[in-house]
Structure 1
């Protein structure tokens, strides 16, 4: 049977960012150095395939530090943790490694600096997300106020409107965040912003690639986890950029083929915690069903690399 022609636009950049790559290496190197089991507080990155692969190698994933035995190493996830967590690990004399993405750590440092200068913080982020919890947990309770929408800006109650600063979660939509920042500056004209945009380079680059190819696509798939903030934002960006159908899939087996009936072009990208093997799996699934022509849409090149902590580079 003759296959229907299909153009598959493949986003570049896509998939793993430097922070995710570093976090996974940290777990793998910890297993090599100390042997299994190594405990990880929260999913190291938001991707089930990655987490399951590390679990098979000997990583044990837990939600809280109290679930870790004191005599085994523990790793903190790439999303960051409240200051109380490493403090408690130190009190228990545990060996711990912080896999917080350096770009998230930069936001933590900004928040601490503003606090030292007497400013109350407003954080633009999603309630309940590990990164938001970690960033808000850098300062005493009440010193960081969370806003999720422009409407939240109108109702947030601050201590002193002239003594404020703001930070953002690193995985947000650029467009959504810009609107919230405008609302903050309109209500609090003296509010202090970051010296450099908090939204990370990888989030920005992946969103720009989606914007570039979405108008040419009948549909667009984002390979990523349902609890991955940056992956969900890519779906939203695709729809806003003019793509009629955009869907998040964890892997090829999740593709809703009926929803794609009649398409002539599709875009494929992946969130920053999705490995390339899952993207290849999706491409192969389309090649099996369609006469597929793959075209890469490159909007940026990434050469960022973050070093792993010194404790893992030193001999056991």
Structure 2
């Protein structure tokens, strides 16, 4: 039987951001320079395909610095770590390489500056996410209050409503975060915000691309990991933009083809830690079942690039 026609709207930008690309290169360069094993505290980025590929090359992923030997390099993940972690690595005289995304480091510096100025900090973020824990861990306990929703803002108990500042996780929904910021500013008019939005360019761009394709499609697939905040937000953004079906998949094998029966147009994007190889895998899976017409919807061009740490740029 002839294949049913299907238009595949492919969002651009999608996939790897500069911070993810830099973090992966850091682990690869560390393995080239010092050989295996190289220890990595937490998944370097939230993608099983990427992590498994690095593990095959000799990376060892652990959740606690205590699981790392003193005599092997350790890399801190792109999400950032509390200040206590590099301090402990230094105490143990470990060779530590920081792969924290520079845009997350910017938020850490903002938090430290506000604390030095005597302000209590409010962080908009998701409880338990490593980036949130890393940012909150830059300051002493109690100095950072975490909120996720406008309702959380209403329940906040602060030390001094005139001495507050806020920062955000870099991978949040732009629209949801705007609502929380509005609630903070309404309740605490004196609260200080970042000079430039903390939500990173890649998160913003990928969400904008999903909004652009949403009116054209019957269903949206987001390639990404369940523990990837920016990928989960893309699913939410798609649903909020009117996609009747929006689903997160890690690989082509995860696609629920029955849920896509009868659709004529499907949108496809990928979270910032999902490699393009997985996008092509999903496109091939559609091409095997449908007469596919590809249409790329580009809403921005990204030229951001971050250098790896100096220790990996200098001659061995």
TM-score, normalisation: structure 2 = 1.00
Matched residues in 1 for 2:247 and 2:100: separation? 28
CA distance in 1 between counterparts of 2:135 and 2:166 reads: 12
Distance in structure 2 (CA, Å) of the matches to 1:154 and 1:195? 24
List alignment gaps of at least 5 residues for structure 2: none
1:155-211 per-residue CA deviation (whole Å, 9 max, x = no partner) reads 011000000000000000000000000000000000000000000000000000000
Q: CA RMSD in A?
A: 0.3
Once the two structures are TM-superposed, the CA of residue 315 in structure 1 deviates from its matched residue by 2.0
The residue correspondences of 1:149-228 to structure 2 (distance < 5 A) are 149-228=149-228
* 1:314 CA displacement: 1.4
Cα distance in 2 for partners of 1:138, 1:184 equals 22
2:154 and 2:74 mapped to 1: Cα distance?
Answer: 41
The alignment covers a number of residue pairs equal to 316
What's 2:64 paired with? 64
Residues 211-255 of structure 1: CA deviation (Å, up to 9, x unaligned):
000111000000000000000000000011111100000010000
Deviation at 1:55, TM superposition (A): 0.2
**Counterpart of 1:42?**
42
Residues 247-291 of structure 1 deviation map (CA, whole Å, 9 limit, x = unaligned):
000010000000000000000000000000000000000000000
Q: Distance in 2 between matches of 1:55 and 1:112?
A: 34
Q: Name 1:102's counterpart in structure 2.
A: 102
Match of 2:246 in 1: 246
Q: Hey, what does 1:270 align to over in structure 2?
A: 270
List alignment gaps of at least 5 residues for structure 1.
none
Q: Which runs of 4+ in 1 moved over 2 A?
A: none
Specify the alignment match of 1:143 in structure 2: 143
Mapping of 1:4-19 within 5 angstroms?
4-19=4-19
**Counterparts of 1:155 and 1:236 in 2: how far apart (Å)?**
25
Q: CA deviation at 1:72?
A: 0.1
TM-score scaled by length of structure 1: 1.00
Is 1:129 the counterpart of 2:142 in the alignment?
Answer: no
Where 2:146 maps in the other structure, the secondary structure is: strand
For residues 28-85 of structure 1, the C-alpha deviation after alignment (integer angstroms, 9 at most, x for no partner) is 0000000000000000000000000000000000000000000000000000000000
SS in 2 for 1:220: strand
Partner Cα distance (1:137, 1:17) in 2: 24
Distance 1:151 1:278 in 2: 38
What is the distance in 1 between the residues matched to 2:220 and 2:287?
16
Within 5 Å, which residues of 2 pair with 1:260-299?
260-299=260-299
